[in-house]
Amino acid sequence: MCYTCAMDVLAHNRHAWDREVAKQNRWTVPVSSELVDRARRGDWQIVLTPLKPVPADWFPPLDGLDVLALASGGGQQAPMLAAAGARVTVLDNSPAQLARDREVARRDRLAIECVQGDMARVGLADASFDLIVHPVSNCFVPDVLPVWREAFRLLRPGGALLAGICNPVLYIFDYLATQRGELIVRHRLPYSDLTSLTDEERPQVVGPDEPLSFGHTLDDQIGGQLAAGFLISGFYEDYWNDCEPIAMYMPTFIATRAVKPAQPAG
C-alpha cells in the first residue's frame, strides 16, 4: 500500500471497515428490533461518542425531518432515527457497514436510503438535510476541514450538525507504551498513522487489516466548524475505558452541536 496517497487511505479504510464488520466490532453490530420498536414509541437515544447519549434537547422534532447519518453505517444511528420518524439517508465508505443498515431496514420495515461515499466529498445536493448526525469517524480521514464544509453545504439554513470527535490528546502519547500502562508524550499534532510512525513501528501499532487513523487539532475540529460557517450551540465530553490509561485522567472524546445560521452572516 502507498502510505502517501490520500485516495489509498480511503480505499484502505473501506476494506478495513469491511473486515471490522466480519470481526463484529462493536460499532458494526446493529441495534435490536426491541430498540427499534421502542424508538417507534418515542423512547430512543443514540451516541456520537462511546458512552454518553446525545442530550434529547439537541434534536428537533424528528417526524418528517430529512436526516443524514454521515459516515455512520453499522445499523445503529440510522435505524433509530428512522424509527423515530425521520427520513434518513446514511452515507458510509464501507459497503459492509451499509449492509448492516439495509439488514435492519429489511428486518424492521424501515425506509433508509444507503449511499456509499466519502464523507469529505458527498455527492448529494446542496441544502438537502435538516439534521446531520456524525458519530466519531473523522479520525479516519487525513483532512477534516472538507468534512465540515460538506456538512455546511448539505444542511438547510437553521439545520444542525451533531458530531463526535476524538480528543487529540489521544494521539500525542506513544501507543505501545500506553499498552504497558505508561504515558509517554511522543507525537506532535496533527497526528497521522502515515507519517508520525516509522516504517518499523507502524505494523506494531496499526495491523494490516486495521483502519488508518489521524489525530486532528482542536483548531481544525472546533475552529474548522466555525470557519465553515457554523455556530457552536452545544458541547460535552465523554470517556471510554478502551483509552486507558489516558481516560484515568481526562475525557477522551468530545461532542458538539453546530448550527447553520438561518440567515447568512452580515
> Is the domain 6-170+216-259 a CATH 3.40.50.2300 member?
no
H-state helical runs in the chain: 6-22, 33-40, 77-83, 95-108, 145-154, 175-179, 202-205, 218-221, 223-228
- Please provide the DSSP assignment of 99-152 as one string: HHHHHHHHHHT--EEEEE-BTTB--S-TT-EEEEEE-S-GGGSS--HHHHHHHH
* pTM, to two decimals: 0.95
Residue 242 is predicted with a pLDDT of 74
Enter the C-alpha cell of residue 75. 445499523
The ranges assigned to domains in the chain are 6-170+216-259
Binning pLDDT at 50, 70 and 90, where does residue 208 land?
confident
Report the percent of the chain where pLDDT is more than 90.
89
- Please provide the DSSP assignment of 216-231 as one string: --HHHHTHHHHHHT-E
Between 209 and 265, where is the model more confident? Answer: 209
Using alpha carbons only, give the angle 210, 71, 53 rounded to the nearest 5 degrees: 100
Q: Is the pLDDT of residue 189 over 50?
A: yes
Query: What are the φ/ψ torsions at residue 102 (nearest 5 degrees)?
Result: -65, -40
Summarised one tens digit per residue, pLDDT across range 80-97 is 999 999 999 999 999 999
Q: Is the pLDDT of residue 1 over 50?
A: no
Binning pLDDT at 50, 70 and 90, where does residue 3 land?
very low
Give the position of cell 438535510. Answer: 129
Residue 89 is predicted with a pLDDT of 98
Residue 266 is predicted with a pLDDT of 57
Q: Is residue 215 within 8 Å of 171, Cβ to Cβ?
A: yes
Between 247 and 29, where is the model more confident? Answer: 29
Summarised one tens digit per residue, pLDDT across range 233-264 is 999 999 987 778 999 999 999 999 999 999 76
The rounded distance, in Å, linking the Cα atoms of 27 and 158 is 30
Summarised one tens digit per residue, pLDDT across range 135-175 is 999 999 999 999 999 999 999 999 999 999 999 999 999 99
Residue 265 is predicted with a pLDDT of 58
Residue 241 is predicted with a pLDDT of 78
Nearest to residue 120, comparing CAs of 156, 85, 146? 146
